[in-house]
Homo-oligomer: A and B are copies of this chain.
Amino acid sequence: MSSNNLLDKIIQQSKLSKKETAKQQRIVETAIALFAERGYAHTSTSEIAKHSGVAEGTIFRHYGTKENLLLSVIVPFLKESMPSLAEEISEQVDPRGFGSFGEFVRALIRNRFEFLMANREIFRVVAKEMLYRDELRAELFPHVGGAIFGFLGRALAHFKERGELADIPPPELAKLMLTTIAGSFVARIVLAPEPPGEEAEADLERLARFVLEGCASGRAAL
């Protein structure tokens, strides 16, 4: 049904390797750390082997290819990052309808920020490789982006009916929201990796306010 080669590989991949050896875990953890630090291209498999106290052959016994190891890092992250979103948000806000648009945006931002901070090393890897490797982007973007877009689109439609949003086509609004929020997260987590500071709270609130105003109805275009 899907002609997506890479995604198929990824899914099979994550199905097959259900039982993770202790060594496999160490390999993946090390790979995440090194990929995040130096990037995929500048990390050699021999370094990964050395740092995880494993023979180089072991890596290839389990992952076959260096590329495949990268996917084994990225895929679970993406799998977890997408479908859980809608449910979690719904639970955290009003299950019957997200409450107000403000509540929704704040919950969305906070939820994703926490998720990305909890997985910030993988996020760094994904962000860098997504930008760098055209095939990865070309094949994963539609799926990941599509899911997020779909979720956000439905939510915006809901709030627009209530008259809380500016008169902008919801897809365009979704795009603006996403680039703003994602831009903020990338700037904070990938570009300027700082220890999880305390100002995060205030920053997130400012970001939320900025997004809300940008989406809000009730003011003519200036």
Contact = CB atoms under 8 A, between A and B. Distances in A.
Contact of A190 (B100, B102, B128, B131): B131
B216 A176 contact: no
Interface residues of A, number: 48
A175 B191 contact: no
A191 B131 contact: yes
Nearest to A218: B219
A212 interface: yes
Contacts of A176: 180, 184, 206-207, 210
A214 interface: yes
Interface in A110-151: 127-128, 130-134, 137, 141
A132 B128 contact: yes
A222 B100 CA distance: 10
Interface string A192-222: 1000000000010111011111111011011
A183 interface: yes
A220 to B, nearest CB: 10
A6 interface: no
Interface of A: 37-39, 41-42, 100-102, 127-128, 130-134, 137, 141, 166, 168, 172, 175-176, 179-180, 182-184, 186-187, 190-192, 203, 205-207, 209-216, 218-219, 221-222
